[in-house]
């Protein structure tokens, strides 16, 4: 028991240490910038798995000119804004429209690209006026200027709004017929059309403003000044125009080789492999920690000590009451926000750490229940006999009961391991590039949702089937 307690304390202090390290552990000159995930021609992953686009190149050039060490992340527009507000990044560049409402919250650079929002449909379902949207469902990305416009004009035109977390989810939904139309920025939709997406624009765009590089209001004036200076230089020396032309005049980059199962697999196997690696790392680390914590609470709940039993019950019930997805989002966005309120300092927590903590705590509650069941399955007489021989409770538990309980619990533990593996997909919401998020990034470039998600599912099937076969073998050998 003492050892288990010690390892829990060690684990928790490691996690807390890591949390504080990630909050303060970067050098001054590093500039963290978040961006959208699927927003070509401004940001997207090209077929060499490199992040490319107008925003990416402008940002890289600006960083170079200012001597900043640039760290760019691409979690999606809504998540990028959340990350900025939670202090996880210093700035956002994501084709972000400068609006009056946003100016209350953010400081913007000089405008760098003129844009307008517009409605698109598939080629089969043309919509030629805003009045024709009556009774229709319009998809839009959460947190965007387009969403604000739709909400303000919903009652006027009589459509329903459906929101999505990124452009991939939105266009896939249009393709599948779940929405009749989508709203996004004109340059983005027209670029997608040149890349062969089944989209059609038959309506006049609405200008809302230009794009700007943004920081939280009152923070980082040096970044805004540095960006503005670099932008002015790039406009003067022609670099700006070169970057814009490179992306807006580009021919289809979606090579034919990426239209088939084999082609997608051949071009992206490295990316799938590294996504799978992150998934497995997350799974193994969180499951080992969950076994330690779960065993502790499982033993606590069968212990003769009432206080221990009550604490364990509260812990298990509390963890099981909160959905894992909510828990993950709460940890990643909620806790740093709370720390910021208390300490007045930005205290971001890294995605992998947040994902690991969420998965660990979640699995630990179920493991505790499994261990409890295992201990209860061992005949009571064994404990009584051992105690009457003068062996202590702790020793009996460790040497006699627990080994048998673990044996009885093995099938359920294996089952929990597989559930935990599948649960890792949930942490893709915070932008952790595990296997599912990897698939989403590839779909963002190729628009091949059927093939890419098919491959992702296939990888899970292979991994889980392998585990199941191994588990059956293990069970048989235990018998």
Residues that bind ligand ASN (CB under 6 A): 36, 39, 77, 94-97, 141, 144-145, 185
447: helix, coil or strand? coil
Tell me how far, at minimum, the Cβ of 413 lies from ligand ASN, in Å.
44
Considering beta carbons, is residue 248 or 412 the nearer one to ligand ASN? 248
- How many residues does the structure list for the chain? 479
- φ/ψ region of 392 (left if φ > 0, alpha if ψ in -120 to 50, else beta) reads beta
Considering beta carbons, is residue 91 or 368 the nearer one to ligand ASN? 91
Tell me how far, at minimum, the Cβ of 104 lies from ligand ASN, in Å.
15
Tell me how far, at minimum, the Cβ of 47 lies from ligand ASN, in Å.
22
Tell me how far, at minimum, the Cβ of 260 lies from ligand ASN, in Å.
30
Residues 211 and 221: their CA atoms lie apart, in Å, by: 18
How does DSSP assign 66-125, residue by residue?
HT-EEEEE---HHHHHHHHHTTS-SEE-SS-B--HHHHTTEEE-S--EEEEEEEEB-TTS
214: helix, coil or strand? strand
Of 144, 115, 132, which Cα lies nearest the Cα of 181?
132
Burial degree of 379 (CB within 10 A; 0-12, 13-18, 19+): exposed
Tokens representing 64?
Answer: 């170079």
Considering beta carbons, is residue 56 or 96 the nearer one to ligand ASN? 96
Considering beta carbons, is residue 117 or 426 the nearer one to ligand ASN? 117
Considering beta carbons, is residue 162 or 313 the nearer one to ligand ASN? 162
Considering beta carbons, is residue 57 or 185 the nearer one to ligand ASN? 185
Residues 451 and 327: their CA atoms lie apart, in Å, by: 31
Residue 31's φ and ψ, nearest 5 degrees, are -115, 120
Considering beta carbons, is residue 163 or 233 the nearer one to ligand ASN? 163
Contact 142, 78 (CB under 8 A): yes
Tell me how far, at minimum, the Cβ of 211 lies from ligand ASN, in Å.
7
Residues 90 and 78: their CA atoms lie apart, in Å, by: 15
Of 74, 139, 88, 146, which Cα lies nearest the Cα of 116?
146
């Amino acid at each position: 028991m003492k050892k288990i307690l010690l390892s829990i304390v060690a684990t928790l202090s490691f996690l807390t240490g890591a949390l504080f390290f990630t909050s303060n552990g970067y050098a001054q000159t590093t500039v963290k910038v978040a961006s959208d995930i699927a927003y070509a021609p401004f940001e997207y992953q090209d077929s060499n798995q490199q992040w490319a686009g107008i925003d990416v190149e402008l940002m890289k050039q600006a960083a170079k000119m200012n001597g900043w060490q640039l760290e760019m992340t691409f979690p999606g527009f809504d998540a990028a804004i959340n990350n900025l507000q939670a202090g996880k990044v210093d700035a956002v560049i994501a084709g972000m429209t400068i609006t009056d409402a946003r100016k209350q919250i953010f400081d913007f650079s000089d405008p760098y690209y003129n844009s307008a929002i517009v409605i698109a449909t598939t080629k089969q379902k043309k919509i030629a006026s805003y009045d024709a949207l009556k009774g229709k469902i319009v998809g839009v990305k959460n947190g965007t200027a387009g969403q604000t416009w739709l909400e303000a004009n919903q009652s006027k035109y009589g459509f329903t709004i459906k929101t999505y977390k990124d452009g991939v989810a939105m266009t896939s939904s249009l393709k599948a017929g779940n929405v009749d139309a989508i709203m996004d920025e004109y340059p983005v939709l027209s670029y997608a059309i040149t890349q062969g997406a089944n989209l059609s624009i038959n309506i006049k765009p609405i200008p809302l403003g230009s794009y700007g590089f943004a920081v939280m209001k009152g923070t980082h004036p040096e970044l805004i000044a540095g960006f503005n200076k670099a932008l002015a230089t790039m406009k003067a020396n022609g670099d700006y125009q070169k970057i814009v032309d490179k992306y807006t005049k580009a021919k289809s980059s979606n090579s034919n080789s990426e239209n088939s199962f084999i082609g997608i697999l051949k071009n992206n196997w490295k990316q799938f492999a590294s996504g799978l690696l992150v998934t497995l790392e997350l799974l193994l680390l969180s499951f080992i920690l969950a076994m330690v914590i779960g065993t502790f609470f499982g033993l606590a709940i069968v212990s003769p000590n009432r206080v221990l039993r009550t604490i364990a019950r509260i812990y298990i019930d509390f963890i099981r009451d909160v959905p894992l997805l909510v828990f993950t989002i709460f940890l990643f966005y909620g806790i740093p926000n709370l720390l910021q309120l208390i300490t007045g300092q930005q205290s971001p927590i890294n995605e992998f750490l947040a994902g690991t903590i969420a998965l660990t705590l979640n699995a630990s509650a179920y493991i505790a229940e499994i261990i409890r069941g295992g201990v209860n399955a061992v005949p009571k007489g064994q404990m009584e006999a051992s105690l009457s021989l003068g062996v202590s409770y702790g020793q009996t538990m460790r040497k006699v009961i627990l080994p048998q309980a673990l044996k009885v619990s093995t099938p359920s533990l294996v089952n929990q391991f597989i559930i935990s593996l599948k649960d890792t997909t949930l942490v893709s919401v915070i932008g952790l590039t595990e296997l599912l998020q990897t698939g989403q990034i590839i779909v963002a470039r190729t628009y091949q949702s059927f093939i890419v998600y098919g491959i992702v599912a296939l990888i899970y099937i292979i991994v889980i089937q392998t585990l199941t076969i191994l588990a059956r073998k293990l069970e048989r050998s235990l018998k």
